[in-house]
Amino acid sequence: MRIDNEMRLEFLSKSQNESFARSVVAAFIAQLDPTIDELADVKTAVSEAVTNAIIHGYECQSGHISIVSKIMGRTVEIEIFDQGKGIENIDLARQPLYTSKPELERSGMGFTVMETFMDHVEVVSQPGMGTTIRLTKTFKSM
């Protein structure tokens, strides 16, 4: 599909950048005039993916997180990359209520939220190499 617009963002894996990242993506996709609900869905999914990169990918150590977002017609694709520890078992990580860090009072609902709010969630990960989350959503509003 033809790419109508694209942006790239890179930032340190600091938790204060979670709101920065979701706000930047929301500002970028606002050009498609999504509804408030559609915009909130994307912001929430991005927040979950970036939080996962910080807590699980880098285990709260310093690293870089990149976001590439593309607009293709009424579809947005958002890729969130980290070069952290990677995910051993992707199917298990995607299970509702599963958390590898129960001591942190995590809900284990991050992937479920992403899957519910976006049309597609693709996870590419290799232990020791990092993780890429690809989120896609087509806006129905015109």
Partner 1 sequence: MNVGFDFINNKLIIRIDGDIDHHTCDEIRSKIDNEIMRRNPKDIIFDMKNVNFMDSSGIGVIIGRYKLVMAKSGVAAMINVKPQIQRVYDICGLKKIIPIYENEIQAVKNI
Instruction: Please pick, from the candidates 66, 112, 136, 138, the single residue that binds partner 1 as defined by CB under 8 A.
Output: 112
17 is catalytic: no
Listed ranges 75-83, 86-94, 109-117, 127-135: which one lies at the site for partner 1 (CB under 8 A):
109-117
Q: Which of residues 2-61 bind partner 1 (CB under 8 A)?
A: 15-16, 18-19, 22, 36-37, 40-41, 43-44, 47-48, 51, 54-55
Options 17, 106, 115, 134, the catalytic residue: 106
Residue pointed to by tokens 């298990």: 92
48 is catalytic: yes
52 is catalytic: yes
**Alpha-helix residue ranges (DSSP H) falling in the chain:** 17-29, 36-52, 90-93, 110-117
CA-wise closest residue to 21 among 10, 6, 32, 7: 10
- How far is it, in rounded angstroms, from Cα 21 to Cα 29? 13
Q: Which of residues 85-104 bind partner 1 (CB under 8 A)?
A: 104
* Catalytic residue list: 48, 52, 106
